[in-house]
Structure 1
Amino acid sequence: MSDVIDPVVESDLDAYVDDQLDASRRIEIARYLSHHPEQAARVMSDLQARDELRMALTGMQSRGTLETSEAARRLERGLMRNRLLGSLQRAAAIAVLVALGWLAHAGFGPLTISQVVASTPPPSFVSDAVMAHKTSLVRAGMKSQSDVNPYDPAEIRAATAITMPQLPAQWSVKDAQLFPSPFGPSVEMEIASDNLGKISLFAVRPGTFDVVKPKGLRVGASSAAYFQIGDVAYALVSNASPADLEAAASQLSNTLY
């Protein structure tokens, strides 16, 4: 399930006219148009032209203008040419791909897709979590940044509306910082653990409403495990293995239900 918080752009209005949006997004666009009369007038004009073209192409009687009928005939002729040209282009593309495949096979051996390439890329907030983790390591090594901010989950929730998970008894919070993000402040905590070394716990509002089970992965020289509950996403980052972080993330996730 996903409810994307997304600004309305020109392509959204075109997709609205072309009936290429799902019901929830059409409702969002309609709400937007109700507050933007100039945009709404243009969309209504496009809808009228679309319906007149459809009626002209299907041979139905309409009250459209002569210009619309002529545009429909030109469109029909153009579509026939495009279908022929598209068939020729696909045939040429297949021939090129086959030739390239033989060349690659001869030069480099059989080609295979690695698991990393084939897998779904992680959400963007994972990269933010890794960067926050690296920043905390730099900050920990600076004498001028040695002051430790006390960790108060109730205060964090009151300030950011982000609920932090309950930490294991063997973990101790060394520092807690707020970072800016597009959908409100994010939280980054520096944690010392008994078996995973130095950990960063990152919490942020990614702009989507979803439920994502914990998943571990490698991100450059670090490991991360991320999950999402509702409109808040969480990520653990450390040098431990992705499997160990995923298990720790599962434990944290269970405390939020």
Structure 2
Amino acid sequence: MNGAERPITTDDLHAFVDGELDEARRHAVEIYLETTPDAAKAMADWRRQNEMMQALYGRIAEEDVPKRLDPHRIAAATRTGGFRWRSLAASAALLAIGIVLGWAAAPLLPSPGAQANGLVETAVEAHRLYADDMVRPVELGADQGPVLQKWLSRRLDRTLHLPDLSASGLQFIGGRLLPSGDGAAAQLMYEDEAGRRVTLYVAPSASDADSPFLHQRVKQLEAVFWGDETVRCAVVGNLPLSRLQTIAKAAYRQLI
């Protein structure tokens, strides 16, 4: 798969704003933005933030380092015994500058929850792509569960189980393999009694740290996501958040 065919990620969008993409990838992002209004709006916001930061702090970034912080002067101060007090004064000055700059920049920088988690973005896009497909929403159906389970476990290189979510009012439809930044990912699809579909997105974990159950609303869809040393997961659907949280916990208990 070449650079133009890979799914567009948040990293691509940031690199586009910063002018760091090659021509083929930049063209792919431009096409994506033409067809994705939410992403185009986010890009415009990021550009405005960059411009505001440059206007506020660009001059400071271009100034020479103050002579008092020159390493040769600091070394000389050490030899003459004056280093301790000068270094304390310099540290206090730097701390004050950091506090002022941080206070001034805080309103301009997005909070951690302002942008969708990368895992959630991918899970939501996959859900939107396949959940409404009435012809072939999955690659292997529920009737091929054992084959699907072995196939996904082999491709993700960890043992997965297909959660039975019938106690949560969901019927298993099937699943498919998806590409991800870490290699391969899996999507398992379920449907409730009203015909509303819920997907469970599973990707290999690149971290030993556990992540608690968190939630995010993206493009009119609720997503509950979590992770551990084995997998990173997201449950996505157009359901009340409380119900989706119950589904996510049930899936977590059975998946690995």
What is residue 208 of structure 2 aligned with on the other side? 209
Name stretches of at least 5 consecutive residues in structure 2 with no aligned partner.
1-71
What is residue 66 of structure 1 aligned with on the other side? none
Residue pair 1:192, 1:198 contacting (<8 A) in 2 also: yes
Partner of 1:134, secondary structure, is helix
Q: Percent identity?
A: 14
What is residue 149 of structure 1 aligned with on the other side? 140
TM-score, structure 2 normalization = 0.51
Match of 1:87 among 72, 84, 92: 92
Count of residue pairs brought into register by the alignment: 170
Shift of 1:236: 0.3
Go from structure 1 to structure 2 and tell me whether the alpha carbon gap of 1:220 and 1:89 turns closer, same or farther (over 3 Å shift).
same
TM-score, structure 1 normalization = 0.51
Q: How does 1:192-207 map to 2 (within 5 A)?
A: 192-194=191-193, 197-207=196-206
Residue pair 1:196, 1:238 contacting (<8 A) in 2 also: no
1:181 & 1:147 partners in 2: Cα distance? Answer: 17
2:229 & 2:98 partners in 1: Cα distance? Answer: 44
What is residue 163 of structure 1 aligned with on the other side? 160
Residue pair 1:212, 1:227 contacting (<8 A) in 2 also: yes
1:167 alignment partner AA: D
Which of the two has higher C-alpha Rg? 1
What is residue 231 of structure 2 aligned with on the other side? 232
Shift of 1:214: 3.1
2:254 & 2:230 partners in 1: Cα distance? Answer: 16
Q: How does 1:88-107 map to 2 (within 5 A)?
A: 88=93, 90-91=95-96
2:185 & 2:77 partners in 1: Cα distance? Answer: 51
Go from structure 1 to structure 2 and tell me whether the alpha carbon gap of 1:203 and 1:222 turns closer, same or farther (over 3 Å shift).
same
Go from structure 1 to structure 2 and tell me whether the alpha carbon gap of 1:157 and 1:242 turns closer, same or farther (over 3 Å shift).
same
Go from structure 1 to structure 2 and tell me whether the alpha carbon gap of 1:250 and 1:148 turns closer, same or farther (over 3 Å shift).
same
Name stretches of at least 5 consecutive residues in structure 1 with no aligned partner.
1-69, 101-110
